A and B are shown apart, each in its own frame.
Chain A
Amino acid sequence: MIQNLLNAVVLGSTYSLIAIGLTMVYGILKILHIAHAGVYTLGAYIGLYALYAFDNNFWIALVLAMLATGIAGVLIYRGMYYYMLKESRIVPLISSIGLFIALQELFRLFAGPYQKAFPAKSGFPRVETSWFSLTSAQGLIIVLTAVSFLALYLIIGKTKIGLGWQVCEQDIDMAGAMGVNVNRSIALNFFISSMLAGAAGVLMALYRNSVYPTMGAMVSYKAFVVVVLGGFGNVTGCIVAGLLLAFVETFLGHLEWFEFPRDAIAFLVLISVLIFRPKGLFGRK
């Protein structure tokens, strides 16, 4: 029981780590950043090649992957969304879908369609008690997720950067008129949210010990479900919703009579929430 609970917490942390980036981008630009899934996979691959280059050192791989995905996020904003802010909503949406699919194919072409092992050495201790056991990967996921959420809270609540985001979220044009450097604020938003996605990619690769081109697909659709559940642009709601989804999946997956594929649960949840509570479970009215 406790073991299941812990597994769900681990799963839920990775969901919310990806979802938080989506929530941040949606909050500020009102763009559904589907290519975020591609950024997540990019993080895992860069982590993998960094492992090859630096003698399987997990921490170097993590930092490099986060830097690279952060830069990739800024490039996606400057190269694509920047030109689409004034267009109708359908435009950034379709290009984001296209970019996600193209990225997934590029990974397949460059790295091959096979699953690759992720032989990282993190040196994180394994926790073992009579009730439960936490592998070092699981422990690492929980600790790192907690640290990044804390850091994000501090950034949003205590710094000028976070203040800039909050202002842009209210009204971008007005924020520009009040002297906020809107472009830099959005670029930073993309940088940090993509960094978190990259970290999630590396952590997930470590946890499942595999990297493959389509690893972004399922997890990231689930991240969208988390964004919707959490009430669009609401960071706290996002964390709670991620954990909630993981609990539901873990426990429904254990029921004998429940034959439905585990991955479809997320979508059933999504569609029913959209019908009955379109603002999300924790959304503000």
Chain B
Amino acid sequence: MAIGYYLTVGVFMGIFSILTISLNILTGYAKQVSLGHAAFFGIGAYTSAMLTTNYGLTFWQALPCVIIITAFIGTLLGLPSLRVSHDFLVLSTIGLNFIVGGVFRYFSFFGGSMGIIGVPPPRMFGSPLGNMGYFLLTLAFLILTILTSYYFSKTWGRLAMEAMGEDEIAAKSMGINVPKFKTYAFALSSAYAGIAGALWAHYVGSVFPGNFSFDRSVAILSMLVFGGMGTIRGALLGAFLLRLFPELFRFIQDYRMLVYGGILVVMIRFQPMGLLGKGSVLWNGLEWFARKIRGGPIQEGTT
């Protein structure tokens, strides 16, 4: 098969890795389960597509606007999370999919159900990016995402979010400003998702309301759960494997929602921390193996 096919698969893998890492901030760290991530993804894609086609901006000029707008809308849509407990947040995020999809579909300002076509590819060094160039661009954004979210995972912000996710009342009594960090989580997470959306829109060249449905939100969540919530390595592995399987085994394509659903049930039931999460069987084994090679003392029960 031509190299172009691998590059295309690679670009989508990269985009979904960015999405999964962004969901990891919200669901992995702050423990706010979101089934509306495709909505933020879609808002990013639509913003970028509209700015470039209707208002004549280039990809690079539109990108900062995309980040600002998605972060702003993410904050706005995250407001219900300040008032409701974990489980009912999920409902309002499911609703997000339908509301955002409905707005895109029913208002002619957003192109209606015909969507927006003719989104130009980004230009670099004076010429439009080809397949190879786009792959490298996606890779660059993915590495940037990994680095920034790794940096974030070493800051106070992540600790505060995890504390808040475990027990809100205890976190409050330790002096953590819960509403502030919840809003942060939503803003950060949706800004990353917006970047992924912009990358997607310019690669595919068109956006339709149906591209950002509830099914896609479920797919992103199951990638994260499969790989391991709360870790960047888990998010990467989950997105990588769940994008790879349908390509390797074509017949899975028909059953992919069944696979996503099944993964959510089985993983959570037997390995709630995912394949590579903290304390999972696989990760413990890897750590044990690494220590053995290094020759250091083997300690049981540490992670």
A: residues with CB less than 8 A from B are 30-32, 34, 80, 83-84, 87-91, 93-95, 97-106, 109, 217, 221, 224-225, 228, 259-261, 263-264, 266-268, 270-271, 274-275, 278
Question: What are 21 A-B pairs with beta-carbon distances under 8 A?
Answer: A30-B87, A80-B265, A89-B87, A93-B86, A94-B268, A97-B35, A97-B264, A98-B262, A101-B218, A101-B264, A102-B262, A105-B257, A106-B258, A109-B258, A221-B94, A259-B106, A264-B99, A264-B102, A266-B95, A275-B80, A278-B83
Shortest distance in angstroms between B110's beta carbon and chain A's nearest beta carbon?
Answer: 13
Q: Which of B84, B94, B166, B225 lies in contact with A94, CB distance below 8 A?
A: B225
With A83-B269, A94-B33, A267-B98: A274-B264 Cβ-Cβ less than 8 Å? no
Which A residues are CB-close (under 8 A) to B272? 87, 91
Shortest distance in angstroms between B23's beta carbon and chain A's nearest beta carbon?
Answer: 12
B260 contacts A101, C-beta separation under 8 Å: yes
Q: Which of B257-275 contact A (CB under 8 A)?
A: 257-258, 260-265, 268-269, 272
Which A-chain residue is minimally distant from B35 (CB atoms)? Answer: A97
- Chain A binding surface, main DSSP class: helix
Q: Which of B70-97 contact A (CB under 8 A)?
A: 79-80, 83-84, 86-88, 90-92, 94-96
Which B-chain residue is minimally distant from A80 (CB atoms)? Answer: B269
How far apart are the CA atoms of A147 and B80 in the complex, in Å? 37
A275 contacts B98, C-beta separation under 8 Å: no
How far apart are the CA atoms of A30 and B85 in the complex, in Å? 11
With an 8 A cutoff between CB atoms, is B11 at the interface? no
How far apart are the CA atoms of A94 and B105 in the complex, in Å? 29
A99 contacts B265, C-beta separation under 8 Å: yes
Q: Give 4 nearest A-B pairs by CB, closest first.
A: A98-B264, A267-B95, A102-B261, A101-B261
How far apart are the CA atoms of A93 and B93 in the complex, in Å? 13
Q: Which of B35, B92, B166, B268 lies in contact with A91, CB distance below 8 A?
A: B268
Shortest distance in angstroms between B183's beta carbon and chain A's nearest beta carbon?
Answer: 14
The interface on chain B, measured as residues whose beta carbon lies within 8 A of the other chain's beta carbons, has a size of 40
Which A residues are CB-close (under 8 A) to B99? 264, 267-268, 271
Which A-chain residue is minimally distant from B225 (CB atoms)? Answer: A94
Which B-chain residue is minimally distant from A102 (CB atoms)? Answer: B261
Which A-chain residue is minimally distant from B91 (CB atoms)? Answer: A224
Shortest distance in angstroms between A114's beta carbon and chain B's nearest beta carbon?
Answer: 16
With an 8 A cutoff between CB atoms, is B222 at the interface? yes
How far apart are the CA atoms of A259 and B108 in the complex, in Å? 12
How far apart are the CA atoms of A34 and B33 in the complex, in Å? 14
With an 8 A cutoff between CB atoms, is B31 at the interface? yes
With an 8 A cutoff between CB atoms, is B15 at the interface? no
With A91-B272, A101-B260: A261-B106 Cβ-Cβ less than 8 Å? yes
Q: Most chain-A Cβ atoms within 10 A of its Cβ — which of B106, B255, B264?
A: B264
B95 contacts A271, C-beta separation under 8 Å: yes
* A interface footprint on B160-200 (CB within 8 Å = 1, 0 otherwise): 00000010000000000000000000000000000000000
Q: Which of B114-136 contact A (CB under 8 A)?
A: none
How far apart are the CA atoms of A87 and B268 in the complex, in Å? 10
With an 8 A cutoff between CB atoms, is B221 at the interface? yes
